Structure 1
Amino acid sequence: MKRWIGVILAAVLAGVAVVAVLWGGKGQDGPQMTVVRGVIGSEKKPFFDDPRVKAAFAKHGLRVEVDTAGSRQIVTDVDLSRYAFAFPSSVPAAERIKRDRGATTTYSPFYSPMAVATFEPIAALLVKTGVLRDSGKGSQTLDIKKYLELVAKGTRWDQIPGNSAYKARKRVLLTTTDIRTSNSAAMYLSAVAYVANGEDVITSDAQIAKVAPVVAPAVLDQGFSESTSEASFDDYLALGAGKTPMLVVYEAQYLAHVFAGDGAIKPDMRLVYPSPTVLSKHTLVPLSEPGDKVGRLLTKDPELQALAAAYGFRTTSPQAFTDLVAKTGAPVAADLVDVVEPPTYERLDKLITTIDSARP
């Protein structure tokens, strides 16, 4: 009798184990779920972590899990064999990955212009110097050429005439992430190098040799730089002008909080646009079929496009973004005209390594 009870109990436990295995591969609604792992730029992690985004992917049988790295690190340091897709924040990085991995396509479901997050007292001082001006369309633009003139002079905040609001003795410098690891810093460098190169994209080693000494102080004289855009923007939000008077950001980072109305953007915070600026086209490189499916959904699924807009990204279907700007009164540059292209990945990398070699 005991032997039969043991056999029955073993069968029951085996059945329970089979049910557990089958259920572990299913979503709440029952369909088999495919786990898709990707590596992304850190600024997109809040989007991928959103339960609504996870639910939208789940409707198509996907559970998307992501790790973060600086966009340039994704190209140089990350073992991409572990992932179904790579999702850096720029076309040059994505094209390098595509070539290196033998991918056949890419997806650019959304983009964000580079911008500057600052504060009202700082903006007022920059207006006095002529670096900042009204665009006439509800936003302000920061003149990169005039800014580089201040950098060349080594101008300090307390040297600006009539400055009673921000008497810091440090240099007037935009804060960026680390150019060696982060795309946002590399995109900023693309814009300042364009201006320093006589309003032209760098295309030769000779131009790099000429431009590097001009733009290096704008990068190296900052001191320590965070490796990711998420960390630097968190400092801007939490520590204020004392730590970061003006920070190079993705427009989407700032607008995500404006659209959410979460109180992170304080009344004295301002968003302005460099002139020229660069568009950061967040470009997904599929490394397997499930990764390709993620790229297609991000580009074509209306729900995911609307959720991307809620995180401040400008999407291939612009209406959701436009509606959020109108609803919140966000200080957005509606018509971006002064936009330049970054150099190729190889030229930009050469410029970065040349500047980096000049570190003390």
Structure 2
Amino acid sequence: MRRWLGIALAVVLVVGVAVVAVLGRNRGNDDRGTTAGGCRSTTTVRGVVGSEKSAFFADQRVKDAFATHCLDVQVDPAGSREIATTVNLDQYAFAFPSSAPAGEKIQRLRKAGRVYTPFTSPMAIATFTPIVEVLTRAGVVHKSGSYTVLDMEKYLDLVAKNTRWNALPGNTAYAARKSVLISTTDPRSSNSAAMYTSIASYVLNGNDVVQNAAQERNVVPTMAKLFLNQGYTDSSSEGPFEDYLATGMSKTPMVMVYEAQYVDRLNRKDGSIRPDMTLIYPSPTVLSKHTLVPLRPTGNQVGQLLTSDPTLTGLAATFGFRTATPKAFDTVLTKAGPPAAPVARDLVDVVDPPTYETLERLLTAIAGAYDR
């Protein structure tokens, strides 16, 4: 009896070892490809984005946040106008230009059911305190609540009169002989230049959005002057902003930027924003609405996460973007400390850009002036 009991126990032991081995092997197969977020596999999602968002998507914290949702988001940078016109979107799950008109154009072309606007950034002017003082004496710059604005109507009047810096009253801080002009990017390729066009055309059109061919013809001559008189202009918004940071007031006394660029640098605390640098806002200004258009279901998931995931919206704020959660942006400004004082917490004088088609006609007409 003891002999048969021993044989039975041995059989049970062998079977138990076999079961454990099989379960271990199966568990090993299940864990293959599992990410830190508990994903059994990760889905790669490709998108094309405005170049100013490349650093955000390249940040490892952003990659890790997407990975917790089992996504590996990979992006290619392109100009917003290019995304809406020449980029082959068939290879992407989402398009993410930096303006609402471009996003609406893509939505119509691709018959997308919805779009997302997870980020916004008002257009602003990076400048220097001596320049602000000079323009304040000239009556072009003034305080508006907690921040400082440049009156676009008065500024355009200076441009129309070919006013030079050394002709401004009491100007000993920047007595340069060149024209009073805001430095911008190339209107033939850059979204920030298109946003500048939106602001200036609104003012030149009697403080109304340009809506028809007659209004377009009226504003184009002055619009072209704003760009052509600058001489060479960069194709990317990083170019003039880097000049501003590197060479200072001598070359670039005023540069049109996305507010996010300035706030991003403030938040880095790397010394690139010096004590004599400051931010002012054109009045009126426009919001650059970063508009994500899903082209596939996975692109829709990316749009939802960028809009609602607390980690991603918080990270977007650290890159200077305003999100649907104002507290995140306020927290970034608070951490940045006193240098963030010129950044507007709440903007009042904000207008809409023209429709995509009107804006394209304006930009095409301005581009034609380069060839004359």
TM over 0.5: yes
Structure 1 letter corresponding to 2:121: S
**What residue is the counterpart of 1:147 in the other structure?**
155
Secondary structure of 1:358's partner? helix
Percent identity over paired residues: 57
Which residues in structure 2 correspond to 1:86-235 (within 5 Å)?
86-135=95-144, 137-235=145-243
Contact 1:298–1:305 (8 Å) recurs in 2? yes
Deviates more, 1:341-350 or 1:78-87: 78-87
Q: Of 318, 325, 338, which aligns to 2:349?
A: 338
**What residue is the counterpart of 1:7 in the other structure?**
none
In structure 2, distance between residues paired with 1:169 and 1:82? 50
In structure 2, distance between residues paired with 1:270 and 1:355? 30
**What residue is the counterpart of 2:52 in the other structure?**
43
Secondary structure of 2:246's partner? helix
In structure 2, distance between residues paired with 1:147 and 1:263? 30
**What residue is the counterpart of 1:352 in the other structure?**
363
**What residue is the counterpart of 1:60 in the other structure?**
69
Give the TM-score normalised by structure 1.
0.90
The runs of 5 or more residues in structure 1 that have no matched partner are 1-18
Contact 1:90–1:283 (8 Å) recurs in 2? yes
Secondary structure of 1:224's partner? coil
Contact 1:299–1:305 (8 Å) recurs in 2? yes
In structure 2, distance between residues paired with 1:242 and 1:79? 41
Structure 1 letter corresponding to 2:166: D
Which residues in structure 2 correspond to 1:16-31 (within 5 Å)?
27-28=35-36, 31=39
1:308 aligns with 2:319: no
Give the C-alpha shift of residue 164 in structure 1. 1.8
Give the C-alpha shift of residue 242 in structure 1. 2.1
Number of corresponding residues: 339
In structure 2, distance between residues paired with 1:39 and 1:236? 28
Structure 2 letter corresponding to 1:117: A
Give the C-alpha shift of residue 318 in structure 1. 1.1
Give the C-alpha shift of residue 145 in structure 1. 0.2
CA pair 26-246 structure 1, distance change in 2 beyond 3 A: farther
**What residue is the counterpart of 1:8 in the other structure?**
none
Runs of 4+ in 1 over 6 A off after TM superposition: none
Contact 1:175–1:246 (8 Å) recurs in 2? yes
Contact 1:275–1:338 (8 Å) recurs in 2? yes
**What residue is the counterpart of 1:267 in the other structure?**
275
Give the C-alpha shift of residue 292 in structure 1. 1.0
Give the C-alpha shift of residue 28 in structure 1. 4.9
Contact 1:69–1:228 (8 Å) recurs in 2? no
In structure 1, distance between residues paired with 2:105 and 2:325? 27
**What residue is the counterpart of 2:4 in the other structure?**
none
Contact 2:47–2:95 (8 Å) recurs in 1? yes
Superposed CA deviations along residues 196-236 of structure 1, whole A, max 9, x for unmatched, are 00010011011001111122211221111111112332222
**What residue is the counterpart of 1:15 in the other structure?**
none
Give the C-alpha shift of residue 239 in structure 1. 2.1
In structure 2, distance between residues paired with 1:99 and 1:243? 42
In structure 1, distance between residues paired with 2:67 and 2:346? 36
Secondary structure of 1:38's partner? strand
**What residue is the counterpart of 2:248 in the other structure?**
240
Contact 2:163–2:179 (8 Å) recurs in 1? yes
Structure whose alpha-carbon radius of gyration is higher:
2
Give the TM-score normalised by structure 2.
0.87
Give the C-alpha shift of residue 26 in structure 1. 5.4
Contact 2:117–2:307 (8 Å) recurs in 1? yes
In structure 2, distance between residues paired with 1:284 and 1:224? 31
**What residue is the counterpart of 2:43 in the other structure?**
34
In structure 2, distance between residues paired with 1:270 and 1:35? 41
Secondary structure of 1:125's partner? helix
Superposed CA deviations along residues 31-55 of structure 1, whole A, max 9, x for unmatched, are 2111111111111112111111110
**What residue is the counterpart of 1:292 in the other structure?**
300
Give the C-alpha shift of residue 29 in structure 1. 5.4
Secondary structure of 1:348's partner? helix
Superposed CA deviations along residues 48-85 of structure 1, whole A, max 9, x for unmatched, are 11111110001001111111111111112211112111
Superposed CA deviations along residues 251-284 of structure 1, whole A, max 9, x for unmatched, are 1110112123222111111100000000111110
In structure 2, distance between residues paired with 1:26 and 1:124? 59
Give the C-alpha shift of residue 128 in structure 1. 1.8
Give the C-alpha shift of residue 30 in structure 1. 6.0
Give the C-alpha shift of residue 138 in structure 1. 2.3
